[in-house]
Structure 1
Amino acid sequence: MNATGSPVEAHEACQQLAAGGHSQLIILHYNHSGRLIGRAETAGSLGVLQGLFVAVSCLVVLENLLVLVAIVTRMQSRRWVYYCLVNITLSDLLTGLAYLVNVLLSGAHTFHLAPASWFLREGVLFMALAASTFSLLFTAGERFATMVRPVAESGDTKRGRVLGFIGLCWLLAALLGLLPLLGWNCVCSFQSCSSLLPLYSKAYILFCVVIFACILATIMVLYGAIFRVVRANGQKASRPPVRRKARRLLNTVLMILVAFVVCWGPLFGLLLADIFGSNVWAQEYLRGMDWILALAVLNSAVNPIIYSFRSREVCRAVLGFLCSGCLRLGLRGPGDCLARAAEAHSGASTTDSSLRPRDSFRGSRSLSFRMREPLTSISSVRSV
């Protein structure tokens, strides 16, 4: 729908649509951004793409739901890594759900939404992605503080501080995602609107890109420092098992960084191109947003693998949960499922648990010296 009449009359008509919460406002903005060009030609292929994106979101939801339930029901440890794992998994689960809702309400459904519903649809996805990245940043900071600058503190103090920071992560994520709904948008100010998200202000998108870029840079700096500490301590270690643990730890750090950059880098580039490019350029080249956004969401499916399944105790928890579920249904899987389930059930109490205090690269200490020790350079990162 093209605006008719003088610019003043068109602006007044737009304001009336905005005041009434009419869905025609969305069509007006999409038309101005060029997002309606060629839409009828690609309508036939949207069903296949939508099905693929629904499958991606379901993968994210199911994977994180499995890990979350396994951690809550099977892990007996309640140290800080437990709360970090639960927080990361919960934020990634919300990301999958938000993306699923976003996909199901896209396409032709977009133009039947009220403006507030459109802002809520996009804002919840922004909030979930922000919560996931904030969780990764907080976990990296806790690892750095535990390994590089360990401070002796009681379990209750540590737990309270961790829960406080987790609450702050969610508060900041909610605020960031709902800013357009609260008024930072470009309704009826077409020149300042994004081409990818036609009701979002370019200034707001630039603000989000800067925030996410700073988070990425900070995570890389923190894990870079952890990487140097682990490599230096691994070279000093004389025992082969300690060296193997160091190599495993370095591989985990590299996987975290590579996955984050690969999944988020294209989205950052696309948003920057949208901010500084023209509408004509956007109409031609910015149609790959769905794929790039799906790649960023896919990071929430990679996170449980890196942060959870590389921990022995979480692997036992997931395996025990799956085996116990099969046994309740009367199924017998291949191999020794009964033995694996029994081992998983008792895994939290064994001395081989990856979450228990261990000998540090900085020198071993007797567990009887203190009731509780700071996490070591091995256990602090392997646990998450």
Structure 2
Amino acid sequence: MNEDLQVNSSRPPPENVTSAVSPLTPVRDSEPELVVNPWDIVLCMSGTLISCENAIVVLIIFHNPSLRAPMFLLIGSLALADLLAGIGLIVNFIFAYLLQSEAAKLVTVGLIEASFCASVCSLLAITVDRYLSLYYALTYNSDRTVTFTYVMLVFLWGGSACVGLLPIMGWNCLEDESTCSVIRPLTKNNAAALSVSFLLMFALMLQLYIQICKIVMRHAHQIALQHHFLATSHYVTTRKGVSTLAIILGTFAACWMPFTLYSLIADYTYPSIYTYATLLPATYNSIINPVIYAFRNQEIQKALWLICCGCVPSSVAQRVRSPSDV
């Protein structure tokens, strides 16, 4: 759900300059001067960081047979989606300034759109998995759960692939510039449909996290009664769990909501600076995801320590999972 990342500008470039990020403007000079947009450089750097971070997560999960539980499969799906999104940002920069063709443009936008769609859907799938693991705690580790996880992944990636194919299959504004959204060559209808879908998924995630908060509070209270904890200990544990969920959901909303709302109401006539300013935070979500969902996980921490140092610190190996670890 990104740009070409070639944002439409309401002000055309000078006649002797062809900007690689303004493909709507026709070439007026046989040997134009190539102007590199600083925003595109920042997006490319963001894509590089995204790729490096998530490549580590993908390699850890892929090379550790013990990390095959549904939770790790979904974290791996999220990391793979963000990895492809980062690669898409890098490839977009290369194609925008070195290989300026309509075909490359459509393929690159399709890759970025499909990758970010898979990333958001993976976040929703992780939320569903966390809810089910708490609500059906006794039967969660069954073959039925594994099958359900694989079904979710098939639909997740299948749907994301279909979304990524839309620009290539003709749902683009290359032939009618008046239908362009803030993300060329996506149409206004395409961008609006993606934005509405995101808002619906966010509402579902919000509802699930509210239910998770209730379950966490109930579990923490039961554990406190069983072990005769003090009321303050129960309060601290519950507050930590709720705070963790608030950080997860708040980070997701802060990264994606500005770009979602902007692409829903704006069109190609709006200044490109607004699109870049709302799009860049959306890419930050793929930078933060490994920290929230992967590197905080105890099993992934152990695997990472083994790869880097050949040993696992006792503080990591002896850490006990609590109700706040959601």
Q: Same fold (TM over 0.5)?
A: yes
Alignment of 1:230 with 2:216, yes or no, is yes
Counterpart code for 1:88: L
Determine if the alignment matches structure 1 residue 170 to structure 2 residue 120.
Answer: no
> Counterparts of 1:67 and 1:253 in 2: how far apart (Å)?
22
Report the equivalent of 1:147: 134
In 2, the alpha carbon distance for the partners of 1:126 and 1:77 equals: 28
Is the Cα–Cα contact under 8 Å of residues 114 and 161 in structure 2 kept in the other structure? yes
Check 1:201–1:51 CA distance in 2 against 1; reply closer, same or farther (3 A cut): closer
Local SS of the residue matching 2:171: coil
List per-residue Cα deviations over 1:173-225 (Å, max 9, x = no partner).
Answer: 0111211211222342333222x234322111111111111111111111121
Counterpart selection for 1:52 from 42, 47, 50: 42
Larger helix share, 1 or 2: 1
Q: CA–CA distance in 1 between the matches of 2:253 and 2:109?
A: 23
Inter-partner Cα distance in structure 1 for 2:12 and 2:165: 26
Relative to structure 1, the CA distance from residue 77 to residue 66 in structure 2 (aligned partners, 3 Å threshold; closer, same or farther) is: closer
Q: Please, what is the CA RMSD of the aligned residues?
A: 3.2
**Where does residue 103 of structure 2 map in the other structure?**
116
- Code of the aligned partner of 2:110: G
CA distance 1:205–1:101, shift in 2 (3 Å) = same
Aligned counterpart, 1:179: 166
Aligned counterpart in structure 2 of residue 95 of structure 1, from 68, 85, 104: 85
- The one of 289, 309, 314 equivalent to 2:295 is 309
Give runs of aligned pairs for residues 193-204 of structure 1, distance below 5 A.
193-194=180-181, 196-204=182-190
Give the conservation status (yes or no) of the 8 Å contact 1:74–1:321: no
Look up the match of 1:86.
Answer: 76
Distance 1:38 1:170, change over 3 A: farther
**Pick from 232, 240, 257: which aligns with 2:249?**
257
Quote the sequence identity (%).
Answer: 23
Are the structure 2 counterparts of residues 165 and 122 from structure 1 closer, same or farther at C-alpha, using a change threshold of 3 Å? same
SS at match of 2:128: helix
Q: 1:1-384, aligned counterparts within 5 Å?
A: 34=10, 36-37=12-13, 40=17, 46=36, 48-74=38-64, 76-106=66-96, 108-109=97-98, 112-113=100-101, 115-150=102-137, 152=139, 155-194=142-181, 196-236=182-222, 237-238=224-225, 239=229, 245-275=237-267, 279=269, 282=270, 285-324=271-310, 341-343=311-313, 347=317, 354=321, 378=323, 382=326
Cα distance 1:35–1:87, how it changes in 2: closer, same or farther (>3 A)?
A: farther
What is the rounded CA distance, in whole Å, between the counterparts of 1:197 and 1:47 in structure 2?
16
More displaced stretch, 218-227 vs 73-82: 73-82
Aligned match of 2:27: none
Larger radius of gyration: 1
Match of 2:23 in 1: none
CA distance 1:154–1:85, change in 2 (3 Å): closer
1:331 is matched with none
Letter in 1 for 2:244: T
Deviations 1:281-314 (A, max 9, x none): x1xx342323432221110110111112222222
Q: Distance in 1 between matches of 2:294 and 2:303?
A: 10
Q: Structure 1 length normalisation: TM-score?
A: 0.69
Classify the secondary structure of the residue corresponding to 2:87.
Answer: helix
Query: What amino acid is aligned across from residue 210 of structure 2 in structure 1?
Result: G
Distance 2:236 2:67 in 1: 25
Deviations 1:15-72 (A, max 9, x none): xxxxxxxxxxx9xx999x7463469598898365444332211111111111222233
Q: Give me the whole-angstrom Cα distance separating, in 2, the residues matched to 1:232 and 1:353.
A: 19
| Structure 2 unaligned blocks of 5 or more | 20-32
Distance in 2 between residues matched to 1:313 and 1:89, nearest whole Å: 16
Q: Report if aligned partners of 2:220, 2:234 keep a CA contact under 8 Å in 1.
A: yes
CA positional deviation for 1:123: 1.1
CA contact (8 A) 2:302 2:312 kept: no
- The alpha carbon displacement at 1:133 in A equals 0.4
Letter in 1 for 2:177: F
Measure, in 1, the Cα distance between the counterparts of 2:177 and 2:37. Answer: 30
